[in-house]
Structure 1
Amino acid sequence: MTGPDNKAVERIRLWDPLLRLFHWTLAAVVTLAWGLGRFGPDQMSLHFWLGYAVIALLAFRLVWGLVGPASARFSGLVHGPKATLAYAASLFRRKPSNWRGHNPLGGLYILVLLTVLALQVLTGLFADPEDYMNVGPLAGHVSIETARSALGWHGMLGNLLLGLVMLHLAAIVFYRLWKREDLVRPMLTGIKTVRR
């Protein structure tokens, strides 16, 4: 990086190893679960096991969001409406954002994504497609109407989740090409280059 605007840059440790491992493991598990749910065999036991893995990952993220390093904490994801609107107004400026962590829109996105994932696995636990084979483990504890409703919500949330993942990938490309900011390398190495 050269030029007067780029003189005062530094490399900072941002994403800790456990958060990075969580991110990439969650991406792989959700991709596999979605693919098996959509295109997989009629027998969904692997899909169920992947759902349990998502529950474990979300439980870890909940704990890590409370006690982990500053960049992993939920308090770092919430910036308030004023900061979020100000960031949104500057989104299309053609320069890196230089946030030390998630920017306000990114933080909001993470909260939405984690909420949708939690609802997705919750509905899966209660879903009953009435095929006597792919019944969620808690479906027997609710009425058949509730279990069928959970199945419907599970499908809709799966589509919403796909949309959120596509938005995430589009944002990565946008930041790389338009704002000249690499979001992938810091999630691989834990180190991000920012202005001082």
Structure 2
Amino acid sequence: MPKPAKTDLGASAAADAQLSPEMVRVWDRVVRSFHWTLVLSFVTAWLTSHSSENIHHWAGYAAAGLVAMRLVWGVLGTPYSRFSQFVRHPATVLRYLLALLSGREARYIGHNPAGGAMVVVLLAAMALTALTGWLMTTDTYFGVAWVETAHSLSAHGLLVLVLFHIGGVALASFRHRENLVRAMITGRKRKAEPADIA
């Protein structure tokens, strides 16, 4: 008699059982695929902004679709992908940043409060950039100066945010002796220690 197919939950549990006892699965495939595909979309749109209008537009549409998908997954997804897990009160974010400045910040298994805030801001900035870019292609807003200015400002602001994001990832990786880029590829991070926050 054939064995019943494993459910996604069962497959995930089986995969977790094979992990090193020092590692835990944090980022699911949807989050990891979203992250790297959005990176590709943004880089493509940035590099083609003055050279290939067609590719630039499609990269923007892809980014908009990815943001919409992430919003849905932020509600329905796995525990560490949900906004309820990593979106925190501004006061909590401020306390974390002050602790960071003094070198006493806690290690988080999921997004730390600053990282969670950055996710929200990056999603909003990407959505605004895609929206203003799309408006520039419509009959109503084509050639309208304020729309072009808004698109340019949001795109350049998004680049600044991406640079801050990369800096934050590098800092957290250094401070907590953990390669966060690799974690976003494999989905795995070092398991929580007593002082860490799961």
Q: TM-score under structure 1 normalisation?
A: 0.80
Partners of 1:155 and 1:78 in 2: CA distance: 28
Percent identity over the alignment is 36
Q: Pick from 183, 186, 194: which aligns with 1:186? A: 183
How far off its partner does 1:119 sit? 0.4
Is 1:120 aligned to residue 132 of structure 2? no
Partners of 2:172 and 2:53 in 1: CA distance: 37
Q: What is the match of residue 31 of structure 2?
A: 19
Q: What is the match of residue 158 of structure 1?
A: 155
How far off its partner does 1:93 sit? 5.2
How far off its partner does 1:144 sit? 5.7
Q: Which amino acid aligns with 1:159?
A: H
Q: Deviations over 1:75-127 (max 9, x none)?
A: 12222133222211211455773212111111111100000000000000111
Partners of 2:151 and 2:64 in 1: CA distance: 15
Q: What is the match of residue 195 of structure 1?
A: 193
Q: Pick from 62, 80, 88: which aligns with 1:79? A: 88
Q: Which amino acid aligns with 2:69?
A: F
1:137-156 superposed matches below 5 A:
139-140=138-139, 142=140, 147-156=144-153
Tell whether the 8 Å contact from 2:25 to 2:188 is kept in structure 1 after alignment.
Answer: yes
How far off its partner does 1:33 sit? 0.5
Partners of 1:15 and 1:143 in 2: CA distance: 39
Q: What is the match of residue 177 of structure 1?
A: 174
Q: Which has the higher contact order (CA 8 A, sep 6+)?
A: 1
Partners of 2:111 and 2:172 in 1: CA distance: 13
* Bigger Cα displacement from structure 2, 170-179 vs 25-34: 170-179
Unaligned runs of 5+ in 2: 1-20
Partners of 1:185 and 1:144 in 2: CA distance: 42
Partners of 1:167 and 1:97 in 2: CA distance: 20
1:22-171 superposed matches below 5 A:
22-37=34-49, 40-41=50-51, 43-92=52-101, 94=103, 97-127=106-136, 136=137, 139-140=138-139, 142=140, 147-171=144-168
Q: Which amino acid aligns with 1:15?
A: W
SS of equivalent to 1:192:
strand
Aligned structure 1 segments of 4 or more residues deviating by more than 3 angstroms = 92-97
Residues 181 and 95 of structure 1, relative CA distance in 2, 3 Å threshold: farther
SS of equivalent to 1:91:
helix
Q: Which amino acid aligns with 1:162?
A: L
Q: Deviations over 1:138-185 (max 9, x none)?
A: x21x2567x331111111111101101111111122223344332112
Partners of 1:74 and 1:113 in 2: CA distance: 14
Q: TM-score under structure 2 normalisation?
A: 0.80
Q: Deviations over 1:11-65 (max 9, x none)?
A: 221000111010001001101101111xx42x40110011111111111101101
Partners of 2:37 and 2:113 in 1: CA distance: 24
Unaligned runs of 5+ in 1: 1-8, 128-135
Partners of 2:142 and 2:181 in 1: CA distance: 44
